[in-house]
Structure 1
Amino acid sequence: MRLKELLTDNYNAAEWEAKGYELPRFDIKTVRKNTYENPTWVHFGGGNIFRAFPAALLNDALNTGKYDRGVIVAETFDDEVIDKAYAPYDNLSLLVSLQSSGTIEKKVIASVTEALKADPQFEDWNRLTEIFRKPSLQMISFTITEKGYSYNEEDLARGLSPVFALGKVTVLLHERFKAGKLPLTVQSMDNCSHNGSKVQAGVFAYAERWAKDGLVAQEFVDYLKDESKVSFPWSMIDKITPRPHEKVKALLAADGFEDNDYIETARHTFTAPFVNAEETQYLVIEDNYTNGRPPLNLGGVLYTTRETVDKVETMKVTTCLNPLHTAMAIYGCLLGYDLISAEIADADIRAFVQKIGYIEAMPVVVDPGVLNPYEFIGAFINKRLPNPFMPDTPQRIAMDTSQKLPIRFGETIKKYISRGLDRSNLVLIPLVLAGYARYLKGVDDAGKPFTPSPDPLLEELQSIVSPLEIGSEHQDFGCLRKLFSRKDVFGLDLYEAGLGEQIEGMVKELYAGKGAVRATLHRYVSER
């Protein structure tokens, strides 16, 4: 069984379906022809998240029979992805959904019609230029990570031969401008706050510099800033696509599916002809399009207002997901866990994150209306965290914790204060922050040293707690005031917030000796 068989007229569909493979229900060749002639969507970033999510959403939309255009992928960072993950399989791929039950679902993704290298050194660039001059083009989108939106003075000074992704995109937008100021939507699908504004800032920076240098007309800048012509909507995306899993490869091989080799490029992109991803996913997009859009709502996208996208993101980042991850990271390291899926099976940890989410964070959540906060937390705790295929670790999540605490917990505390909520309801969130003071010692609950994850403030914060000793009965915890008054770490002075002394008391319990972390966690969770 090979993916390219599906483009022939005599493949054995019954064999594939008997082994649990969902095949496209649309005519692949017709969709490819329609898309080549009148493309509607170009996506920048050909990595695993694209194939597992946006491309799969479009595949579902095509399966309804209500749409007939695919998506053209353009790779800006690693051209080997095109040569190794797309071309050999004629742009087909296999999505393997990893169920929390330990089973998998398999779906052939055939919505990608072309895969192009987005750089002028390749012939593909001429095709991209042609596409950008087509009136039918409605949307370009991105999953290039937040780092992909970066630019610098050196690249701005390169003029119309930039190296960075947004510079190349701006060159292509200039082609669309020259073709008649054609409308287009520039849609970020990356997991970063206010992502559309980040793309917009980069595109404007290049265009304004080129206009200043006399390389483009001021009219081009005006075109980009005309929201009736070019829009930059926000979105919130959430789905985990880990590296190809050895267990998944073995399951596919047992089926007789032969396209299961691992692929690593010279730039250390890890991929495969198959993409494995968690079952749970969310994509909420601001519905602000200037030239129509592909009907991704047929595949499950939620279209809404910018305000609602912001509410969904705030719900996820400050209350209903990211804070729970950080709580697990801190205590997972202290309790010796090295897999999140194993840690969530711990009764104390499970109750810990449930009660933080449902009891302490929920009072400040603004229901965005399109996603229910209670159901969002429930899916996270009951489906996403226990998934045995997810190789995520507390150690990875604990990276840069000092940079995350102000948003993930500081914002909730601020809202308690600004809304006049009863701060005595805050028990387990303070316990997370107390746990951070224990984590900084780099000694787990069994008394074994561990290396805290990389963090730009790690050495500085460790020096604050260095006078403290685990198991010492008579010691001065006064150094903690220097830690918990740090607004840059916690988002506010925890003493001014009325929580400093409470947290100090918890730290004393956590430092009592071996087993103190478990005992303290269990007591507070049980009493909550």
Structure 2
Amino acid sequence: MSTPYTWLHIGLGSFHRAHQAWYFNQLMRNGDHSWQIAAGNIRNDSEATIETLQRQHGEYVLETVTPRGHRHHELIKSIKKLIPWQADLAPLISCGAEPNTKVIAFTVTESGYYLDTEFNLQINNPDIKQDLQGGNQTIYGTISKILEQRIEQQAGPVTLLSCDNVRHNGQRFRDGLIEFLNLTHNAKVLGWLADNVSFPNSMVDRITPKPEPNLTDRVLDKTGVHDGAPVMGESFIQWVLEDNFIAGRPKLEEVGVELVASVDPYEEAKIRILNVSHAGIAWTGALIGQKYIHESTQTGFIREIVYKYITRDVIPCLSQHQNDIDFYQYRDVVLDRFTNEHIKDTIQRVSGDGFSKIPAMITPTLVESYAQGRVPKATASLPAIFYVFMQEWHIGRLAFDYYDGILDSASVHQMYEADDPIHLYASNQSLFGELAQKPEFEALLRNRIEAVYALLS
């Protein structure tokens, strides 16, 4: 039997293990062993999981559950190589540079792309600064080192595949990487990219919460497997890929992956309808002391906020460009998925990275609504809720630690301590782009923030 090709995944977290690894497991169950997953991390924050998986030979149990509580357990065996972390990432870089590695995919979250509202690198970010000096704290520094080694070792072409909730994620990563290579004067890699690297866009979808404390016991009870690193997710799963793989790919279409010429309509629907609503529900739920997404989705006024956002603003925007997706049906399916009380998806998990989500996911609907001659009152409610959410963070009243990969704590505290914090917020170009200089947008945002205060009083 020939040696299988390697699909290297950077970002070995619960989502990858519940999503991409599941599809590869289906291929293996069908008798296709022509590809295998190798996986590792840029950051040293999951080594305990990797060590556990190593003891289990990479195998673990995936539990999925429907909104009605039907559970299914499956042993996943598709991750064949677990790459230990070390500070210089030498094992990860070495794997990426092997000739047999044909695809390098990654999930680094929205904030892991370090892009501003104009999709340029945030060159003043400390992580980017470090990588511009030769570090490997970000996906850009890491991938550039992998490509340098591939060139030296004549390893051949490779596909770089973003699997994050970033609009046009392949294109955005490509542009960010090229900017990074220009800033580091890396002419060798820049010259090699055009003929040797492809950057497909993709859309991934499966809600994957932090595993419950009793998941290990439940897996043992249901399967008899002693698993120290099980994962759980909803039963729904979707993966849409632009069919643009320069060095070959697995036959993923045989296990339900949608290979398409353009991912655009799928990712727009998912980002604006699912991801934004998810965040809005989390921010609002946090303000009334709730802990789980299903609680907040089942809270009437919270569901109404996101329902109006989707129906009044998002669907009119999306319908201008795409007519063969039933956005109303998609809205209803998404909101039903959010009511899944059995996965216990936490508000803390979903609320993160707001300073990346607003410019990337919410501001486009604001801009397009104005362009269509419509005041986006429903959409403006979401950054208004986030303003109040962060105000609670500012005064230390959030019930959990808020995570945001690009949070500038000092600047946010300074904003709320100013005479007119709403003005500073509304005029923040990094968040709102061209709207930051428009008095009518500031007036709308003030109105929506006042409405949030009134709702919570």
Pairwise mapping of residues 185-196 of structure 1 onto structure 2 (< 5 A)?
Answer: 185-196=159-170
Is the counterpart of residue 297 in structure 1 residue 297 in structure 2? Answer: no
* 1:280 aligned residue: 236
- Give the 3-state SS of the residue equivalent to 2:291 in structure 1: coil
Contact 1:208–1:221 at 8 Å: present in 2 too? no
* 1:7 aligned residue: none
> Aligned in 2, Cα 1:108/1:203: closer, same or farther, shift over 3 Å?
farther
* 2:122 aligned residue: none
Determine which structure has greater relative contact order: mean sequence separation of CA pairs < 8 Å that are 6+ residues apart, divided by chain length.
Answer: 2
CA shift, 1:116, in A, is: 3.5
Query: For residue 517 of structure 1, what is the amino acid of its counterpart?
Result: L
Is the counterpart of residue 347 in structure 1 residue 300 in structure 2? Answer: yes
* 1:250 aligned residue: 217
| Gaps in structure 1 of 5+ consecutive residues | 1-32, 213-217, 262-271, 467-478, 520-528
- Give the 3-state SS of the residue equivalent to 2:219 in structure 1: helix
> Aligned in 2, Cα 1:399/1:38: closer, same or farther, shift over 3 Å?
closer
Pairwise mapping of residues 227-238 of structure 1 onto structure 2 (< 5 A)?
Answer: 229-238=196-205
Is the counterpart of residue 239 in structure 1 residue 206 in structure 2? Answer: yes
| Partner residue of 1:388 out of 342, 354, 359 | 342
Superimposed CA distance per residue, residues 132-181 of structure 1 (whole angstroms, 9 cap, x where no aligned partner)? 234xx5322223446666865655665xx968665555455445445656
| Partner residue of 1:141 out of 105, 123, 135 | 105
CA shift, 1:233, in A, is: 1.9
Contact 2:103–2:158 at 8 Å: present in 1 too? yes
Contact 1:244–1:275 at 8 Å: present in 2 too? yes
TM-score by length of 2: 0.76
Contact 1:464–1:483 at 8 Å: present in 2 too? no
Pairwise mapping of residues 7-156 of structure 1 onto structure 2 (< 5 A)?
Answer: 34=2, 37-65=3-31, 67-77=32-42, 78=44, 80=47, 84-117=51-84, 128=95, 132-134=98-100, 137-145=101-109, 152=128
Partners in 2 of 1:508 and 1:146 — Cα distance? 29
- Give the 3-state SS of the residue equivalent to 2:263 in structure 1: helix
> Aligned in 2, Cα 1:449/1:234: closer, same or farther, shift over 3 Å?
closer
Identity percentage of aligned residues: 22
Contact 1:335–1:517 at 8 Å: present in 2 too? no
* 1:313 aligned residue: 267
TM-score by length of 1: 0.67
| Gaps in structure 2 of 5+ consecutive residues | 115-126
Query: For residue 224 of structure 1, what is the amino acid of its counterpart?
Result: L
Contact 2:113–2:173 at 8 Å: present in 1 too? yes
- Give the 3-state SS of the residue equivalent to 2:67 in structure 1: coil
Larger Rg: 1
Partners in 2 of 1:173 and 1:489 — Cα distance? 33
> Aligned in 2, Cα 1:186/1:436: closer, same or farther, shift over 3 Å?
closer
* 1:324 aligned residue: 277
Partners in 2 of 1:169 and 1:82 — Cα distance? 23
Contact 1:195–1:234 at 8 Å: present in 2 too? yes
| Partner residue of 1:337 out of 283, 286, 290 | 290
Q: Aligned residue pairs: how many?
A: 433
Pairwise mapping of residues 453-472 of structure 1 onto structure 2 (< 5 A)?
Answer: 456=408, 458-463=412-417
CA shift, 1:379, in A, is: 2.4
Partners in 2 of 1:354 and 1:328 — Cα distance? 11
Partners in 1 of 2:253 and 2:300 — Cα distance? 38
CA shift, 1:312, in A, is: 3.4
CA shift, 1:106, in A, is: 0.8
Superimposed CA distance per residue, residues 322-348 of structure 1 (whole angstroms, 9 cap, x where no aligned partner)? 332343244323433232211111122
> Aligned in 2, Cα 1:68/1:391: closer, same or farther, shift over 3 Å?
closer
Contact 2:132–2:183 at 8 Å: present in 1 too? no
CA shift, 1:98, in A, is: 2.9
Partners in 1 of 2:205 and 2:133 — Cα distance? 35
